[in-house]
Amino acid sequence: MNRQEIEAMLESNSDSYSEDYDDTDADPNWSSESEPDENIYERELLDNCNVTINTIGNNWNNDFSNGQLNSHIIFNPDVNTIGINPDIIETMSDASPIDFFYLFFDKEIIDMLVVETNRYANAKKNTAGLSRHARIRKWVDTNEQEIKLFFGIAMWMGMMKLPSIAHYWKNYIL
């Protein structure tokens, strides 16, 4: 397309150019009539598949108007053991909430968060086009203690409901 054709297209009020493009959410049909055996492996798999349906204790109800009817049914088709590992319960029986937090966020994870947060901030600070008074220019590298404090505040915000996020940062008692 040359410049004149592009300008003509932009100035045109007709939608004749949009006929070349499909703007629907429908998925295209990729099946090919010339390849009838393309799903042969799926058919063989389905033919060799033996399905056993365990109906013991399954009182499924298709009445969805009452959300509590099927709440007792647990979806676990492989009958896997689910829940908290009993060893953890024994080991952590007298543990504090921070001990549980450190099960998921150990020193290695916290250190990685510090490094990646500082890397991201420095990359943003060094981008072209920042105004002279941009807040990112005042960035000081974070550390392990600040990351832990941030997570503590974020968790506290989840437990202590206030009207808006700004209320969490007020300097006076609410």
Segment 123-172, tens digit of pLDDT: 999 988 888 889 998 999 999 999 999 999 899 899 988 898 888 888 87
Note the maximum CA span of the chain: 77
Backbone Cα Rg of the chain? 30
Whether 115 shows a pLDDT value over 90: the answer reads yes
Structure tokens at 140: 């000081």
User: Which pLDDT value is given to residue 121?
Assistant: 95
User: Which pLDDT value is given to residue 113?
Assistant: 97
User: Which pLDDT value is given to residue 171?
Assistant: 82
Q: Which residues, 6+ apart, have CB-to-CB distance to 151 below 8 Å?
A: 101, 105
How would residue 65 be classed by pLDDT, with cut points 50, 70 and 90? low
Q: Give the type of residue at 29.
A: N
How would residue 51 be classed by pLDDT, with cut points 50, 70 and 90? low
Average pLDDT over residues 80-94: 77
Average pLDDT over residues 113-124: 96
Q: Which residues, 6+ apart, have CB-to-CB distance to 20 below 8 Å?
A: none
